Structure 1
Amino acid sequence: MSEMRPLLPTGRFSHILVATECSEYSRSAVALAVELAQLFSGRITAMHMLFSNPEFESIALEQLRTQELNAARSTGEMKKWVESQGVACNVEIRRGVHPHREIIDAANACDADLVVMGRRGRRGLARWMVGDATARVVAEAPCKVLVVPRGATLWRKTILLATDGSRYSERAGVVATILARQSAIPLRVVSVVESKGNQKRMALATEAVDRMLEHARSQEVVVSGEVLESHPPADALAAEALRVGADLVVSGSHGRTGIERVFLGSVVERLIGKVSCPVLAIKGG
């Protein structure tokens, strides 16, 4: 095995942007963001988008005003509740046509460390993916993205880390280790290969897992790891999450075209759609 090089530092959670619809789909996302902010002494910006464009505003001005009043009331109640939990909260209401664009612009504007958003579910069984807005935010956001299904809570059992040895998944490993240590729960590290008979791929996968194990142990985190043989990768990761009872999955959002391209685009989206727990996508920036 080659000599281990130092892992890149990452893992801030000081400013969390929560994209909220003020609906049942975003309620769990807001509650989890509050718990995360409490854990890391962070603050929250709650962003709500109103659909609006010049044509709509010209024919439905009264309707838009009603929407603004309702949004102000709902976000105001949310801000009051968040602050009652001891977390500083700012509220931002944006107008736009595309939710993903407004979320990304808001994350850039407030220099967010993390975007938290609720998951509505799949759109289009042929793709086995989550909604288009969620997929676009995961792909284009400037920071980490946490996708939260309805009913999810802060992780208290096991964190599953998926790695392919790329710089993207190394960052994911650092963040997963921080979260496991801060939450005092075990970390499970896996890498996926299509065939263990491919010695080159197995060597890469084994090194990737060993590297994360060494880092986690250096941080006094209880950790175990394994190379899994399966295809497609998202199915194997989802099955492993269920087997170990993971209540958070952490992965890089992109990666090298190495070990079965575990983290390229649609695979992460498929994984989000297949697991019942939150998924944290770590960006490469």
Structure 2
Amino acid sequence: MTPLIQRILLATDGSAYAARAEGYALFLASTWGAGLDVLSVLEFPPGMNPAYPINDVYLGQLRKEADRHLGRLADRASQIGLSVRKQVEIGIPSEKIIAVAREHGDDLVVVGTHGRTGLEHVLLGSTAERVIRGAPCPVLAVRGIKAEAVESAAASVPLAVRRMLVPIDFSDCSLDALEYAVQVAKQLDAAVTILYIMEPVAYGLDFTLSHPSELEAKRARLGDRLRDLTAAVTGCGLQADEVLRGGLPADSILDYAHSQAVDLIVMGTHGRRGISHLVNGSVTEAVLRRADCPVLTVRSPKFAPDHRRVIRKPEPAASSG
């Protein structure tokens, strides 16, 4: 069967905060035996003339720094047997990353959620989020760590992904994310936890609440569906379990991931949003801002033509009339 990931695009700005994303890109490329495209974008505002003397000097210095950093990355990659294509572009980082991913047909983009800006707690509107929204393939967003922690992190044990968390809401996009997660888990020999969050009960239009028996019946139905998904995952040789919890989706996902020392969260980028999207942004965006572990967002899964699905989507209901 055609491998799920044959080519990975790593976007890096060469900062200390990008080191963690670089490590994951090398780890995944080595695990999959994938080719690695390494891209550095020299951020330059549109409308300005790059050939203007002072701009040319500025960009020239940035290019030298980028070339040195990409050269060091290529050396690291070659030491573990990876083939690397280096590329430096000028422009708006998110636009260039998306364009290069399309041009090269990359199967996965790896990007840090924090670079030179210093806004380590902000993702909304950042390069990473714009890439996630527009990339033609899944995106692994890796939160940067503080500069003083980089050296100790580099000297720590090799990267590994042993526990994966896949929050779902039974939408098509979340089931695609689970399907993608299963394929990644097979390659990494990781356990999978399928998580469903029952949001707090809200008043209906007539200001009535659901009867407790109705809530119990709903919980039972959800439990059955989750067990069916878990059985499908274990049926292909993986360790898997299901968890049904109550609470606010983003908070509950993050709390579970932290308490269980999850190594990777896999999420679809579309699904049921509701009021929480209007107030705080989508659940996926909220998780991206606050998760300590990397978050693999699956907006446009690239499954090969010969791919055999493990997770079946429900058949659409037949129209009447």
The interval holding the TM-score normalised by the smaller chain is: 0.7 to 0.9
Match of 2:13 in 1: 21
What one-letter code is carried by the residue in structure 2 that aligns with 1:183?
L
Shift of 1:12: 1.6
In structure 2, relative to structure 1, the CA distance for the partners of 1:54 and 1:215 (3 Å cut) is: same
Instruction: Name the CA distance, whole Å, in 1 between partners of 2:220 and 2:32.
Output: 36
Considering only CA atoms, is the larger Rg found in Structure 1 or Structure 2? 2
Helix, strand or coil at the partner of 2:255: helix
Helix, strand or coil at the partner of 2:13: coil
Helix, strand or coil at the partner of 2:98: helix
Helix, strand or coil at the partner of 2:179: helix
Instruction: Name the CA distance, whole Å, in 2 between partners of 1:274 and 1:62.
Output: 38
Match of 1:186 in 2: 191
In structure 2, relative to structure 1, the CA distance for the partners of 1:111 and 1:265 (3 Å cut) is: farther
What's the RMSD between the two structures over aligned residues? 2.9
Aligned partners of 1:49 and 1:95 also within 8 Å: yes
The gaps in structure 1 that reach 5 residues or longer are: 1-8
Helix, strand or coil at the partner of 1:188: strand
Instruction: Name the CA distance, whole Å, in 1 between partners of 2:257 and 2:123.
Output: 18
In structure 2, relative to structure 1, the CA distance for the partners of 1:129 and 1:75 (3 Å cut) is: closer
**Pair 1:74-2:69 in alignment:** yes
Match of 2:48 in 1: 55
Match of 2:182 in 1: 177
Aligned partners of 1:167 and 1:284 also within 8 Å: no
Aligned partners of 2:162 and 2:188 also within 8 Å: no
**1:209-267: CA deviation from partner (whole Å, max 9, x where unpaired):** 23431221111111110221101x11000001012110111111112458987xx9632
Instruction: Name the CA distance, whole Å, in 1 between partners of 2:6 and 2:63.
Output: 29
Shift of 1:92: 1.0
What one-letter code is carried by the residue in structure 2 that aligns with 1:234?
A
**Pair 1:84-2:101 in alignment:** no
Match of 2:101 in 1: 107
Shift of 1:201: 6.0
**1:254-283: CA deviation from partner (whole Å, max 9, x where unpaired):** 12458987xx96321210122210000011
Helix, strand or coil at the partner of 1:48: strand
Shift of 1:83: 1.5
Instruction: Name the CA distance, whole Å, in 2 between partners of 1:248 and 1:135.
Output: 18
Instruction: Indicate which of 236, 255, 258 corresponds to 1:239.
Output: 255
In structure 2, relative to structure 1, the CA distance for the partners of 1:252 and 1:10 (3 Å cut) is: farther
Match of 1:135 in 2: 129
What one-letter code is carried by the residue in structure 2 that aligns with 1:245?
A
What one-letter code is carried by the residue in structure 2 that aligns with 1:113?
D
Match of 2:226 in 1: 209
In structure 2, relative to structure 1, the CA distance for the partners of 1:201 and 1:44 (3 Å cut) is: farther
**Pair 1:223-2:227 in alignment:** no
Instruction: Name the CA distance, whole Å, in 2 between partners of 1:132 and 1:279.
Output: 15
Q: How does 1:238-257 map to 2 (within 5 A)?
A: 238-256=254-272
The gaps in structure 2 that reach 5 residues or longer are: 146-152, 202-211, 302-321
In structure 2, relative to structure 1, the CA distance for the partners of 1:89 and 1:201 (3 Å cut) is: farther
Aligned partners of 1:123 and 1:131 also within 8 Å: no
Aligned partners of 1:155 and 1:248 also within 8 Å: no
**1:130-168: CA deviation from partner (whole Å, max 9, x where unpaired):** 562111111121110001123587443311111111221
Q: What TM-score results when the alignment is normalised by the length of structure 1?
A: 0.84
Could you tell which deviates more after superposition, 204-213 or 107-116?
A: 204-213
Match of 1:4 in 2: none
Instruction: Name the CA distance, whole Å, in 1 between partners of 2:95 and 2:32.
Output: 27
Match of 1:6 in 2: none
Instruction: Name the CA distance, whole Å, in 2 between partners of 1:162 and 1:11.
Output: 24
Helix, strand or coil at the partner of 1:142: coil
Aligned partners of 1:168 and 1:284 also within 8 Å: no
Match of 2:308 in 1: none
